[in-house]
Structure 1
């Protein structure tokens, strides 16, 4: 069963919360009702469920909650998993909670345990009841990946997904369906360059919107409104105007819209209106199309690893506050095997200043904090030469047989 309308609140945490991230934990507790709020902790996705559950319980208790571990996880030793999933007393404890929290690990453990073959177990029905009653369902990393109707199951190779590796039950699967339909969520987004798998997934699944939450950040979703919290940010991808050329032999698109939202920024999925954090609204708006625009950044760069750590955010900021009307980069693999499918295919990404590109910058003590709205993105397949270059002079290093930095997992 998938929730067709959102009654409660979803908190999607991108993973790898840092030591000073109590603001995210505190917000979760506040959304659940404040001090004393009962929160059911599911370490289902974890490879070491006891240790991970202990860490989550400590963080929630530090912020005033009353957390309780629900011992339902494939990696719990000596546990009759089916009995736990149907235990009336355990189910009742979940149903009496004001919030449910899913740990990180492997998201397939969550859906395979709580929703085998797409059918909700009594335990998952209790989670859905908490949500339907206006409660909170939250998760970090793998626990965040399961929140939308569709989810990435085991699609760790961004470039392989770009090249067309996209199989039901392997790269993707059904999620828990707690987020609005048509919204696909992903995590570790900027750190791991996951725009590379988000775009073809949206195209293949027919989803219009993608929400990529970075590490050390979270997005609170209540109804149609998103709010970013934490130390980093999130990327919103809109495929509403995107097109592709079916005659090309590999993934391509033109006209996707990308926005980067930082902590405190809000976005309404229904109206499409973004409200920057108040500290940014106190600063001048950045609008490159206006005659008085003066770029703050110097000359930009072409990104030789567009899917590298943080490159997408840097490219968006460069587009907004730099001198160039477009910013580009490549995604391709240096260590591709000759027998690998489409081994010589890479992808060129170009961000453009489309009408409506606007942003804000807060240069506080923590460094430059940007909001970037409505950048246009085109992605085109390219053939990578092999070798990319030849050494000069006798005794030089061997010829490099394929080009570019490897794409992160």
Structure 2
């Protein structure tokens, strides 16, 4: 029964949210936001002060009012209190917005259109969306008819006038107009596609031209970005890793903060061979932006972090020479390790293989991910650590036939 109710909710939400995204796009055309987005890949530690301090700064500095929306959380009361306390330790004046589907003894429909709650948000300098289930965010903030609730409109007002919207994990997923919802495993997404309830509509703060995904490198989710972007026609995607964040300002300039970085997926010149029934892709372009790096989305201009200013990789003097290969390209940080080695290598290509895990469908299917360092590829190495920035590396994906005698 619960699954039937959930399925009905997904269908209703998908239909209603179409209107919301259209309204958000129109509103954005009328009044381009002057604010900033801080989009974190999830698992942001309390001691990662560079992210928390930037949020406080963008919200107005010490004492800035920041509205905490724990709408996605399994335990919104505890999650909201924890987040507010963390922001307050960084100098903010944060408060919890009592609006969540799972918040007991409250009516989230009523709260979403409560004038006093909306005003408290509108008077703030920033809004924070916690992690959890991103569908609970849209369910709480969007009316059944697809229009924006008063609280959602207040959040947009904060963003339009120059405030900051900060989201982590589920709070990052809702930043784009399309978000993963009932997602399969990464391999399941590659092998079966995104033709069901895997995708839903987000709130679209980042605009309708960029797809956002989170927990990226830690969980190999770069691969699931590809079919989603193709399905919805996105040319650019940004995937942010755990304990890391990107700041996107009103000028569409990106800055990377935190522990690691973000992957830019560019499908502008990518093609698909329709004669092959399984997922395939040619000439996608991957760029890895490390912490401290900046990138202008309008001008396509990269600015290295301070420790990489003098670190442009010289292809004539590569550091690595061994073949670059992985039997588990979807593993923790594997794609970053492969890109980092290849950009500073005498090798021109790297191969990574993805196969189904035990119990997953399509045990006979696999995928080859081929990275190519060509004339358009550039790399920068850090003078302070073994870290690389990689720009414009080619990616091709093709299906493979796999036999598994070790499972028999």
TM-score using structure 2 length: 0.90
Kindly state the Cα deviation for residue 19 of structure 1 after the two structures are TM-superposed: 4.2
Contact 1:148 1:179 in 2 (8 A): yes
Aligned to 2:349: 326
1:357 to 347, 361, 377: 377
Report what 2:200 is aligned to. 173
1:344 correspondence with 2:344 = no
Tell me the equivalent position of 1:92. 119
Inter-partner Cα distance in structure 1 for 2:191 and 2:64: 46
CA RMSD, aligned part only? 1.5
Distance 2:265 2:347 in 1: 22
Report the alpha carbon displacement of residue 297 of structure 1 after superposing the two structures with TM. Answer: 2.8
How far is the alpha carbon of 1:248 from its aligned partner?
0.2
1:61-99, CA deviations, whole angstroms, 9 ceiling, x for partnerless residues? 111111010011112111121221111111110111111
Q: Does 1:241 align with 2:269?
A: yes
Q: Which residue of 2 aligns with 1:369?
A: 387
User: Is the contact made by 2:307 and 2:383 (CA closer than 8 Å) also made in structure 1?
Assistant: no
CA contact (8 A) 1:16 1:216 kept: yes
Displacement of 1:336 in angstroms is: 4.2
Structure 1: distance between partners of 2:211 and 2:50:
25
> How many residue pairs were aligned?
379
Residues 124-203 of structure 1 aligned to structure 2 (within 5 Å): 124-167=152-195, 170-203=197-230
Q: What SS does the aligned partner of 2:192 have? A: coil
- CA positional deviation for 1:38: 0.7
TM-score, normalised to structure 1, is: 0.89
- How much does 1:180 deviate? 2.8
Whole-Å separation in 2 of the counterparts to 1:196 and 1:25: 29
Contact 2:271 2:281 (C-alpha < 8 Å) held by counterparts: yes
Distance 1:19 1:322, change over 3 A: farther
Number of the residue aligned with 2:334 = 311
Q: Is the 8 A contact 1:6 1:222 kept in 2?
A: no
From 387, 401, 407, give the equivalent of 1:400.
407
| Displacement after TM superposition at 1:28 (Å) | 0.5
1:203-258 deviations in Å (ceiling 9; x for gaps): 11100001000001000001311110111100001000101100001111110110
- Asked if structure 1 preserves the Cα contact closer than 8 Å seen for 2:68 and 2:94, the reply is yes
> Secondary structure of the residue that 2:387 maps to in structure 1?
strand
Q: Take 1:116 and 1:153, find their aligned partners in 2: how far apart are those partners?
A: 19
Contact 2:33 2:161 in 1 (8 A): no
Determine if contact 2:42/2:242 at 8 Å carries over to the other structure: yes
CA distance in 2, matches of 1:155, 1:6: 30
CA contact (8 A) 2:263 2:288 kept: yes
The one-character-per-residue Cα deviations of 1:11-34 (angstroms, maximum 9, x if unpaired) are 101111234301100000001110
Q: Structure 2 CA distance, aligned partners of 1:50 and 1:201?
A: 33
Partner of 1:262: 290
Q: 2:50 & 2:184 partners in 1: Cα distance?
A: 29
| Offset at residue 271 of structure 1 (A) | 1.1
Q: Which moved more, 1:139-148 or 1:53-62?
A: 53-62
Q: Which runs of 5+ in 2 are unaligned?
A: 1-22
Q: Give the distance between the partners of 2:365 and 2:262, measured in 1 at CA.
A: 28
Query: CA–CA distance in 1 between the matches of 2:122 and 2:311?
Result: 48
Gaps of 5+ in 1: 388-398, 402-409
Of stretches 300-309 and 139-148 in structure 1, the one that deviates more from structure 2 is 300-309
CA distance in 1, matches of 2:210, 2:50: 25
Mapped to 2, the partners of 1:74 and 1:19 lie a distance apart of 26
Alpha-carbon deviation of 1:275?
A: 0.8
Question: Could you tell me how far apart the structure 1 residues matched to 2:193 and 2:269 are?
Answer: 24
- Residues 184 and 209 in structure 1, CA contact (< 8 A), matched pair in contact too: yes
Q: 2:136 & 2:387 partners in 1: Cα distance?
A: 36
SS of aligned partner of 1:137: strand
Answer whether contact 1:6 1:179 (CA < 8 A) is retained: no
User: Greater helix share, 1 or 2?
Assistant: 2
Q: What is the aligned partner in structure 2 of residue 48 from structure 1?
A: 75
